[in-house]
Amino acid sequence: MTATTVRVHRAVLWALGLGCGALGLGLGFLVKPLVHGIIGLVGDAPGPLRLAAALPTAWAVPVLTAVGLAAGAWLAAEAKRDALELVVDHDGVHLEQARAERYLRREDVAAVFLDGRDLVFLDATTRQLARHRASDLPAQQVRAAFERCGYPWAGTADPHEGEFRTWVDGHPDLDDEAHGLLRSRARALTDEQLGTAAELADRLQEIGVVVRDRGGAQQYRRVPGA
């Protein structure tokens, strides 16, 4: 059987690009009264808007439409780059997101499911093999791709949901090593050092602690038997 590819729908990317073009078109007609209104309220307007307002409407409309289309094309390209792309077959799954690629062998996957915005893979010990943001992908297509190839699809909730606890620094449920790693990971997330946060999550798994992020907080569960 051939591989199944799931990626962000082209219509979404086209809508993003054309939507920005439409905004540019509308701004071309409205930029003069808009700038006059801003100046009347605060006494000044941003330089690019004042420059656009200085153009005759016959020029402002095509120029701002072109600018909108260019901005839309850039945003669509960025959205495509940041969205997860899956290629699933009976041997494994190839994941690509934000220019990073990963391959998981089918034999290593004991469960795959959607957990909120994320697509998650677990191994036989319940450790996470991978967790990727997948909110741009149609959930039904994701499920169908894995079920078609015989993967253990576990639905749209973490099968270990009830085991997660919100991390509280110093709580006796965890030892000093785990708390230290979670503190470092919290700082990495605050500083938007996502690579460092991912590395710390891997180190936590090595000592039997699985971590995820929910509502600005870290949640954790223990690996059975660890």
pLDDT score, position 1: 61
Q: Which residue has the tokens 């795959």?
A: 112
For the chain, the 3-state helix, strand and coil shares in percent, each to the nearest 5, are 50, 20, 30
Q: What residue ranges in the chain does DSSP mark as E strands?
A: 4-6, 85-88, 92-97, 100-105, 111-115, 118-122, 128-133, 165-166, 209-214, 217-222
pLDDT score, position 160: 97
Domains and CATH numbers, the chain: 9-82 (no CATH), 85-159 (2.30.29), 160-226 (no CATH)
Amino acid making up residue 101: E
pLDDT score, position 106: 97
pLDDT score, position 122: 98
A 10 A CB-CB count for 101 gives 10
Task: Output the six-digit token pair for 130.
Answer: 């991978």
Name the DSSP letter for residue 191.
T
**Rounded Cα distance, 12 and 83, in Å:** 11
**Mean pLDDT, 10 residues at a time, the chain of 226 residues:** 84 80 85 79 77 81 87 82 92 93 97 96 97 93 96 96 97 97 97 94 97 96 90
Q: Name residue 94's beta-bridge partners.
A: 87, 103
Which run of H or of E encompasses 77?
A: helix 57-82
pLDDT score, position 89: 96
Closest by CA to 22, choosing from 74, 64, 82, 76, is 64
Q: Name residue 166's beta-bridge partners.
A: 219
